[in-house]
Amino acid sequence: MKNYNLFSHTPIYLAIFLLLFVWGCERSVSGLEEAPNSDNPDVFLDTFSDGLNYAAFDGSVLEAFQVVEDETYDNSEASMRFEVPDLGDPRGSFAGGAFFTSIPRDLTGYNALTFYAKASESTQIGVLGLGIDLGENKFQASVDSTMLTRSWQKYTVPIPDPSLLESEQGLLFYSSGPINEEGYTFWLDEVKFENLGTIAFDSALILDGEERNFDAQNGQTFTIDGLASRHRLPDGTVGEVNASPYYFNFSSSDESVAQVSEDGVVTVTGEGTAVVTATLRGDSAEGSLTVNSGGEANTPNAAPPAPQQDPADVISLYTNEYDNVTVDTWNTGWEFSTATESFIQVENQDVILYQNLNFVGIEFASETIDASEMTHFRMDIWTPDPTELPNEFKVLLVDFGANDEFNGGDDSEHELTFTSPTLQTGEWISLDIPLSDFTGLQNRANLAQLVLSGDLPNIYLTNVYFYKGDDNGNGGGEPNAEPANSAPAPTEDEANVLSLFSDEYSDLPVDTWRTEWSAATLEEIDLFGNPTKKYTELDFVGIETTGDNLVDASEMEFIHIDLWTPNMDVVRIKLVDFGPDGGFEGGDDSESELVFEDLPKEQWNSLKIPFSDFEGLENRENLAQFILSGLPAGSSTLYIDNVYFSKEGDGGAPATEPVNAAPEPDADEADVISIFSDAYSNVDGTNLNPDWGQATVVTEETIEGNNTLKLAGLNYQGIELGENLDVTDMSTLHIDFWTVNSTELSVFLISPGPVEAPYALTVPTSGWASVEIPLSEFDSVDLSDVFQFKFEGDGDIWIDNIYFEN
C-alpha cells in the first residue's frame, strides 16, 4: 500500500487554504460610511488652504490676483493682493474670480465667512461672497459695496443658512471694477469661516420684501428676485446678504394656479389666484407674489387678413407677404420695460406675442427706414385683454433725423393713442394709420424706433409695414372693388345672441333696412352664397325696428356688425332707443353715436362694440333705430353683414365674476357719507386691507371702468376708516355686493371698545345685489363714533358703493 503522506500534500493544501483566505477576506464595502467632508474653515491664512484653486472670471484681468508678502495683516507671512484695472485697460474691464476647492467642505458648523481687508485708498468692493464653485454655484451668497479703508479691518459675510452647506466647494469670490474710471488695489488676509456669537440671523426677504402682483395666463413664468437674508452685525446694525434661491423654500398657496420651482421660477398653470411665498431657516421671508391667472391663454384662432398692396409700394418690417427689412430687435429691453416677446405662428402666419407689456421698444436703427414716399403705417394687433375705455394702446414712431443717429438735435417723434371702439377684445384689429397723423414727426427719412405701450399686457402683432397708397390716401385698389369673400361667420352661441341679419342665426323681424328718409341706395346681394346688404351713394341710412319689432337688448352686452368698404374714411353708427313709452319722442328717448375713423378699407372689419361705449344710450329695452352714415357723404359704398346683439357666457356656465359694474348710485352727494364708491368723494385715509390676521385676499379691480373691491376667500375682513364717523344723522347704510359662491355674509359696524353689531346679507346673489340697511339694525354700536367695518362669512365677494345715506 502506498503511504499517503499528508505532509507532502501540504503545499497544495496551503495554497488552497491561502486562496480561500484571500477570497474570504475581501471586505464588503457596502457597510462602510462615506468619509465625512472636511470641516476645515481656512480659506487663506498664509497660503491657499488644502485643495484650493483660483480661476479668474471671463472679461476680468487674469493677473489681477497674486499672493504677496509685503502687505500682510498682523505680520502674517502672506496675503492676497487684487489689482482692479483703470477704465479702458486692454487686459480686462474689472478684477474678479472665484476661489474654489477640489475637496468639498462641511461648513454647517460656521455662520460667517470672515477676513481682514484693506485697500490702497478708501474704496468699495463691488461684490464679495461665497458659493461660486464654477459648477452649479448653487449656494451663492454675497454682499455688495463693501467699504474698505487704508488700514486693516475685519469684515464679516454672514451665511444665509449654513445648515445647507454640507459639501461646499465655492469658498470665496470677488468682483470689482474701476470707480470714477480709476482702478485701485486691495488686500485680503486671514480668510476663513467662523462661528461668530456676535452676529445673529434676523430675517429674510424675497422680491425686496414687497408684495407684488403678477397678472398672467397659463404658461407664463415669473422669476422671483430680490432675494436676501438679513443678519444682526456686531456694530448693532443689520446687514443684508444677497442669497441664491436655493437657500429659500418656496411654496404656492394653490398649485393648480401657479407652481414654483426650487430656483424660484413661478409657472402659471391654471385659472385663479395663488400667493407665492418663501421661508428661510424655517422663518417666513418678507415679500410675496400674488398671481392672478386668467387661465388658458386666449389666443387668436385665425390669422388676420393678408396685406394686399403691391410689393413695390411696401416697406415691410414683419409680414409673411413681403420681404422684411432689418429690424435690430423687437424688444430693446429698456429699463422699467416688463415686456417679454415670443415668436409664434397662428395658422402659418408669423406673429410676435408680447406679454406683460407696459411698453416695449422696437428698433431698426442700424439701417433706418426711409418712409418719406410712404403714406400709411399698418399694424395688425390682437389682444385678449379688456379694451373698453379708458384702456389705451399707443404707437410711437421715432425718426433719428438727418444725422441718422440718436440725438444730435434733429430727432422727432409722435405718439398716437387708440381706444375702444377701434380697440376690440379677441378680434384682429388692423391699424391702418395715415402717416400724416404722426404730426410730430418732422421727417420720415430716418425712422429708427417704434414703441408700443398702453393698458393691454398681451398683444399679438403681425403685418407691420409701411405702404404707399394712392393720392386720396386710399389703400390702393379701386373705389368700386367688391369684397373678395363673404363676411366671416360669427362664432357666438345662438343662446347668447339676438340677431337682426345673419346667416348663422334666426333673425328678428326688422321693419326696413332703408327708411324712406335715408340718403342711400340699398342692394341685397349674394356674396359667395352669403346674403349681404350693400349700400352705395351712402350719406346716411336708417334701419328700423319699431312697434312690435322694438328690440329689448337689456340682457345683451355687445352690438356686432361686419363692415366692408372700399372708400369710407369715416363710418358712424348711431343707436336710438324709444324709451319706456315705446314710441318716437315722448321725452324718454335716448341715442348715442360712435364714430370710426380710418377703418381699414377693402377688408371685412368685424366690430364687436360693448353697449357701454354708447354713452348717451340710457336704455336699450326699446331699440328702434340704427343709423349708419359716413364720409365721403353721398358717395360712400358700404357692405354690411352679421348685425346682431350678443352677451358673454359659454352657453350656460354661470359667470364666476361680475362682468358689469355695480349699478350707479342715485343718492345726492349732499346726503351721503361715502366709504367706497366712484360716484362720491370717499372718507380720506381709509385702509381697505388692515392686517387683522385674516385669510381674505383683498384686491381692487376695475370692472367696466368702475373701481370695485374684491374679497377673495373671505373668512373675515376689516376696513379701518380714515377718521371716526358720526352717522347719527344718517338713516341707512348702502352696500352693493356680488357673489356666486358665498353661503354666509354679514357686515358689521364697529365703534371703539370695540363694540360691533352684525347685519346678515342674503347670499349668493343673482348679479349685483343692493341693500339699504336701516342704521337702527346697528343700535348696539355707538353711531356717533363709528371707526371700522367688518365683513364676515365665506366665498369670493365683490363689493362697491359702500355709503351712509340720509
Partner 1 sequence: MTKKFIYPITVLLYFTIFLNACGTDSNDDSSTGWELTWSDDFEGEKGDLPDPSSWTFDIGTGDNGWGNRELQYYTNRPENVSLDGEGNLVITAIEESFSGSSYTSARIKTEGLFNQAYGRFEARIKTPFGRGVWPAFWMLGSDFREVGWPQTGEIDIMEFRGQEPSRIHGSLHGPGYSAGNAVTSSYSLANGRFDTEFHLFAVEWFEDRIDYYVDDVRYQTIERTDVGGEWVFDKPFFLILNIAVGGTFVGPPSDQTPFPQQMTIDYVNVYSRTE
For partner 1, the binding residue among 212, 232, 281, 572 (CB under 8 A) is 232
Could you tell me the CA-to-CA distances from 378 to 26, 286, 363, 384, 447 in Å, in that order? 81, 47, 17, 20, 15
Contact of 803 with 736, CB cutoff 8 Å: no
Residue 197 interacts with partner 1 (CB under 8 A): yes or no: yes
Give the range of 11-19, 78-86, 217-225, 232-240 binding partner 1 by CB under 8 A.
232-240
Interface with partner 1 (CB under 8 A), residue total: 11
CB of 768 to partner 1, least distance (A): 41
Give the range of 33-41, 228-236, 434-442, 500-508 binding partner 1 by CB under 8 A.
228-236
Where are the strands (E) in 297-348, listed by range? 314-318, 340-346
CB of 124 to partner 1, least distance (A): 17
- Whichever of 240 and 493 has its CB closer to partner 1, that residue is 240
Give the range of 231-239, 458-466, 499-507, 625-633 binding partner 1 by CB under 8 A.
231-239
CB of 196 to partner 1, least distance (A): 7
- Whichever of 286 and 399 has its CB closer to partner 1, that residue is 286
At 15, give phi and psi (nearest 5°): -60, -50
Could you tell me the CA-to-CA distances from 424 to 460, 541, 596, 607, 657 in Å, in that order? 13, 25, 12, 7, 21
> Which amino acid, one-letter code, is at 16?
I
Contact of 541 with 523, CB cutoff 8 Å: no
Terminal Cα-to-Cα distance of the chain (whole angstroms): 136
Stated length of the chain: 806
Give the range of 165-173, 235-243, 449-457, 624-632 binding partner 1 by CB under 8 A.
235-243
Grid cell digits, residue 761 = 346679507
- Whichever of 36 and 197 has its CB closer to partner 1, that residue is 197
For partner 1, the binding residue among 33, 181, 235, 323 (CB under 8 A) is 235
Residue 509 interacts with partner 1 (CB under 8 A): yes or no: no
CB of 202 to partner 1, least distance (A): 8
Residue 147 interacts with partner 1 (CB under 8 A): yes or no: no
CB of 232 to partner 1, least distance (A): 6
Map the footprint of partner 1 across residues 177-196, applying CB under 8 A.
Answer: 196
- Whichever of 238 and 525 has its CB closer to partner 1, that residue is 238
For partner 1, the binding residue among 180, 237, 439, 491 (CB under 8 A) is 237
H or E element in which residue 294 lies: none
Residue 234 interacts with partner 1 (CB under 8 A): yes or no: yes
- Whichever of 232 and 414 has its CB closer to partner 1, that residue is 232
One character per residue 693-732, x = contact with partner 1 (rule: CB under 8 A): ----------------------------------------
Reduce the DSSP state of residue 508 to 3 states and report it.
coil
For partner 1, the binding residue among 24, 59, 90, 236 (CB under 8 A) is 236
H-type alpha helices, 254-307: none
CB of 233 to partner 1, least distance (A): 9
Grid cell digits, residue 618 = 340710457
Contacts of 364 (CB under 8 A, 6+ apart): 317, 325, 326, 327, 328, 447, 448, 449, 450
Could you tell me the CA-to-CA distances from 653 to 386, 608, 713, 796 in Å, in that order? 20, 21, 21, 17
- Whichever of 237 and 407 has its CB closer to partner 1, that residue is 237
At 785, give phi and psi (nearest 5°): -150, 60
Cα separation, 195 vs 162, in Å, equals: 10
Grid cell digits, residue 370 = 426711409
Reduce the DSSP state of residue 668 to 3 states and report it.
coil
Cα separation, 806 vs 803, in Å, equals: 10
Q: What is the CA radius of gyration of the chain?
A: 37
Share in percent of the chain as helix, strand, coil (round to 5): 5, 45, 50
CB of 200 to partner 1, least distance (A): 4
Of residues 109, 173, 114, the one with CA closest to residue 139? 173
Grid cell digits, residue 764 = 349668493
Give the range of 230-238, 592-600, 721-729, 731-739 binding partner 1 by CB under 8 A.
230-238
CB of 238 to partner 1, least distance (A): 6
Where are the strands (E) in 133-256, listed by range? 141-148, 153-158, 168-176, 184-194, 200-205, 211-216, 221-223, 228-232, 238-243, 249-252
- Whichever of 194 and 410 has its CB closer to partner 1, that residue is 194
CB of 753 to partner 1, least distance (A): 15
- Whichever of 284 and 326 has its CB closer to partner 1, that residue is 284
Cα separation, 636 vs 760, in Å, equals: 60
- Whichever of 196 and 275 has its CB closer to partner 1, that residue is 196
Where are the strands (E) in 269-339, listed by range? 272-280, 283-284, 288-293, 314-318
Give the range of 114-122, 141-149, 227-235, 546-554 binding partner 1 by CB under 8 A.
227-235
Residue 281 interacts with partner 1 (CB under 8 A): yes or no: no
Residue 198 interacts with partner 1 (CB under 8 A): yes or no: yes
- Whichever of 234 and 705 has its CB closer to partner 1, that residue is 234
H or E element in which residue 19 lies: helix 10-25
Residue 691 interacts with partner 1 (CB under 8 A): yes or no: no
For partner 1, the binding residue among 14, 68, 103, 238 (CB under 8 A) is 238
Residue 200 interacts with partner 1 (CB under 8 A): yes or no: yes
> Hey, which residues does 597 pair with through a beta bridge?
570
- Whichever of 196 and 755 has its CB closer to partner 1, that residue is 196
CB of 144 to partner 1, least distance (A): 15
CB of 449 to partner 1, least distance (A): 41
Map the footprint of partner 1 across residues 651-670, applying CB under 8 A.
Answer: none
> Which amino acid, one-letter code, is at 725?
L
Residue 223 interacts with partner 1 (CB under 8 A): yes or no: no
CB of 162 to partner 1, least distance (A): 16
At 423, give phi and psi (nearest 5°): -80, 135
- Residues within the interface to partner 1 (CB under 8 A): 196-200, 232, 234-238
